[in-house]
Structure 1
C-alpha cells in the first residue's frame, strides 16, 4: 500500500528498506547486558563508545534514540565467535538471550567512563605501538547497539591496529525519521569535536583516522569544517578520513572542502552507483546527486577529485548480502581488510600498490591485456581505484595499450 501522492519509486524504495530491516524486529532487546566472560576460541574487541543519546533504564539498551544533554562515555568489550562459526563481514546477532558466544556476538562488559580525563586515560591504555586511533561515526537508522556491534565487527574483520572509538549520535532507528536523524547529526557536531580534541590532546596519540558511514559522513565532514574554521586548519593529528556510502549532497561537499582548505587530511571515498538507500536520499533531498553514488570516472567529478587529491574506491559491481547495497564497505571481507591493512595505516592507494581496476585476489590491470579484457575489468571489477596518480597512470597505460593493439592489427592485416 502506498501513501497517496507518494511517487511510486519512492514508495518502492521505502518498502525495500523496510523489508531489508525486517530481520532487526526479530532480534532480542537488551543485547548489551554483559555476560562477564569470553570463552576460549572467541576474540574480544574493546571499544570506547561516546554518545550524545539520552540514557535509558532499559537493561542492555543503555541509550535510546532521543537526544541527551551531553557527551557520555562507556568502555564496552564485545566478544566475536570463532571464524569457523561465522561469515566475515557479518554481525552474528543473538537469536535469544543470553547469547551463545561461540556462535553469536556477545557483550562481555560495560564500564562507565566518567570524565574526559578518564577517556584520555582509556586511550593511553589502549594505544597500540603505532599510537593510532580510529574513530567511527555510524549512519542513518542505527540504534546504540547497532553502532557498537557493527564497529566491533569492522575492527575485528579488518584486523585494525588502532585504539577503537565509536561516536554514536541520536537516531530513532526508523526509515520514517530521516529528518530527525539529520538534525541529530547537526546537534552532535560540537560533541564530536570535543571527542576529537580530547584524542588530539592525549600526548601519546600520534595520528587519528575518522571513518564515517552514510549520514554520519555529513556529521564527520561538518565537524572537520567547523574545526578548520575555528583553528585555520584541521589539526595535524587527523590524517585520514574514510567516507563510506556518503549521504552528502555533492554541491555541499565541494563547499565543505573549500572551507576545510588545502592543508587537509587524506580523504578516501567508498561509492556504489547501485546504492538504493542513497537513491531514496536523493529523492527526498531535492534530486541532487549524493556523493556515495557518483561515477568517479565521469565529469565533473573526475576533475574535482583530482584537484582535491581524493581517492575513490568504486564498489558498484561488488555483490554482498545487503539488499540496499548501502553497507558494502563493511560486509565484504576483502574491503574490510583493505581498510585495516592499507587505509588506516595511512598508505596511499595508487596503481603501483593496488592497481587500477584490481580484482581483489587477482592480477591487476596490465599492459599485456587486450582492449576487450581491459574494458571489461574497468566495468565489472568489484573494486576500481581512482586517485590522481592512478588516473594519470591509467590514462597513459590505456593510450599505450591502444597504440599497441592498433600496431598489432596493422601487422596482422599486412596494411
Structure 2
C-alpha cells in the first residue's frame, strides 16, 4: 500500500471514529428495558405501564438556553443554536404505541400493556428570561446591573419559582430530579430520557431537564458542542440557584451524562465557592442530594484540580460515578484531547489509597460497568437494566453501594462492580405511585 493510500485510509478511519464519538451520546427514544426491580411482588419481564400513567403527570419540565423554534409566533421546539436567554417550560411526554391484545395483565395497579416508545406530544414555554449579560454601568468604583434590567430579570425568575412552587404543592413532591444530557442530543431526546428515568424512580419528584445547545452535526460537531457546554455554565448556575431559593423545594438530585457532567459540575463548583465565601454550608444552601455522573466526559486531571481541590462533594450526600474502561466514545475523547477521561478510569488512574480516601471522606463512589461494549459502551446508563436499577436505587433509597438496598460487589481495587446481568433482590416499596 502506497503512502497516499495509507493517508486516505487513515483519514477515513479518523472520520469514522469521530462520527462514532459524536453518535455515542445520542439519546434513545424507546423506553429502556425495565430495571431489575420487583413490582407487585413479581419481576415483570416487559416494560409494563399502567393505563393511568401512560401520559406523564406532572409534565416533564425543562430549562434551556437553546435557540427557540417558532411556528405562527409560538415556540414549538428548540434547536442546536445558542440563546442568551433561558426559557422554562413544560412538555407532555406520552408512553406511546401500546400493544394491548395479548399483553393486558390485571393487578391491583390496574391494566398494563407493553410500551414501545416515548413521545413528546407538545410543549409549552412558560417563562422567558431577559438576555444576559444584563445591562450594567460603573459608578463610584462599582460595576452594577442597572435597576430596571435587574427588575425585569427578577420578574421572570419569580415567575419560574412560582411555577415550581405550585407544582410542589400540587403533587406533594418537594424533591427535584434534574437530568443533563451530553453531546449530540436533540431537545426532545433529553425529555424522553428523563421521562424514562423519572418513571422508574417512582414518579416521586418534580422532573426538570436542563438542556444546553448540543446536537451539532458533522465531523467538528463534538467540539462545537463542547464549546456550547461552556457557554451554558452560567445559565446552569442560575437555574440551580433559583431552585434552591424556593422554600418548598427540599432536595435536588442531579443525573448527568457524558459532557453534561462538565456543564453541571462547573456550575456546582462555582456555587460551592460562592456559598462558602458567604459563610454558608454548601449542602444546606444548595439543597443538593445525590449527584450521579454517568460516563462523564471529564478530564481526570481537571476533576482533581477543580472538583476535588474545591471539595465540591461537600454539597452532596453522595456522588456516584459510573465508569467503563471499554467506553469507545471516551477513549476517543481522550485521544482528541490528549487527556484521560474519568468515565473510562481504571484503578491504575488513581494513586495508592486515593480510592479509599474518596469513598470514606469525600463520599465519592466509583462503579464499574462491565461488558458494555460497542454502541452501548457509552449510553449504558439508559439501556442497561442493571445500571438503571442502581441509579434508581441510589435515588430512591439514598443508600450507599454494597448494602442490602444496593447489592453491588467490591473489587480488590475498591471500585464497585456492576455486571449488566446483576440480579437485584426483591426490595420493599418499589411500586410506581398511582393517583398523583
User: Normalising by structure 1, what TM-score?
Assistant: 0.71
Partner of 1:180: 224
Equivalent-residue separation in structure 2 for 1:380 and 1:166 (angstroms)? 27
Structure 1 residue 304 displacement after superposition: 5.7
Partner of 1:44: 56
Deviates more, 1:305-314 or 1:102-111: 102-111
Check if 1:121 corresponds to 2:174.
Answer: no
Check if 1:67 corresponds to 2:82.
Answer: yes
Check if 1:221 corresponds to 2:265.
Answer: yes
- 79, 83, 86: which is aligned to 2:94? 79
- 382, 391, 404: which is aligned to 2:420? 382
Partner of 1:404: none
- 351, 358, 362: which is aligned to 1:305? 358
Check if 1:13 corresponds to 2:67.
Answer: no
Structure 1 residue 230 displacement after superposition: 1.6
Equivalent-residue separation in structure 2 for 1:315 and 1:83 (angstroms)? 32
Structure 1 residue 273 displacement after superposition: 1.2
Tell me if the contact between 1:134 and 1:344 (Cα under 8 Å) persists in the aligned partners: no
Equivalent-residue separation in structure 1 for 2:22 and 2:234 (angstroms)? 32
Tell me if the contact between 2:25 and 2:378 (Cα under 8 Å) persists in the aligned partners: no
Tell me if the contact between 1:224 and 1:234 (Cα under 8 Å) persists in the aligned partners: no
1:103-148, Cα deviation, whole Å (9 max, x unpaired): 5433344222123223222322333545110111110111111211
* Uncovered stretches (5+) of structure 2, i.e. residues with no partner: 29-49, 101-113, 128-155, 423-436
Structure 1 residue 43 displacement after superposition: 3.7
Q: CA RMSD in A?
A: 3.6
1:199-245, Cα deviation, whole Å (9 max, x unpaired): 11111111111111100000111011111122215342112211010
Structure 1 residue 353 displacement after superposition: 3.7
Higher strand share: 2
**Number of matched residues?**
338
Q: Call closer, same or farther: CA 1:171–1:261 in 2, change over 3 Å.
A: closer
Q: Residue 409 of structure 2: SS of its match in structure 1?
A: coil
Tell me if the contact between 2:62 and 2:209 (Cα under 8 Å) persists in the aligned partners: yes
Tell me if the contact between 1:133 and 1:207 (Cα under 8 Å) persists in the aligned partners: yes
Check if 1:264 corresponds to 2:321.
Answer: no
1:148-175, Cα deviation, whole Å (9 max, x unpaired): 1222222123434211010000113325
1:257-292, Cα deviation, whole Å (9 max, x unpaired): 212456331211111111111111111111x21010
Structure 1 residue 17 displacement after superposition: 4.8
Equivalent-residue separation in structure 1 for 2:379 and 2:304 (angstroms)? 24
Tell me if the contact between 2:177 and 2:254 (Cα under 8 Å) persists in the aligned partners: yes
Tell me if the contact between 1:136 and 1:211 (Cα under 8 Å) persists in the aligned partners: yes
Tell me if the contact between 1:136 and 1:166 (Cα under 8 Å) persists in the aligned partners: yes
- 320, 323, 330: which is aligned to 2:375? 323
Q: Call closer, same or farther: CA 1:22–1:334 in 2, change over 3 Å.
A: closer
Tell me if the contact between 2:99 and 2:115 (Cα under 8 Å) persists in the aligned partners: no
Q: Call closer, same or farther: CA 1:351–1:66 in 2, change over 3 Å.
A: same
Q: Residue 325 of structure 1: SS of its match in structure 2?
A: helix
Partner of 1:408: none
User: Normalising by structure 2, what TM-score?
Assistant: 0.67
Tell me if the contact between 1:243 and 1:269 (Cα under 8 Å) persists in the aligned partners: yes
Q: Call closer, same or farther: CA 1:199–1:108 in 2, change over 3 Å.
A: same
Structure 1 residue 198 displacement after superposition: 1.4
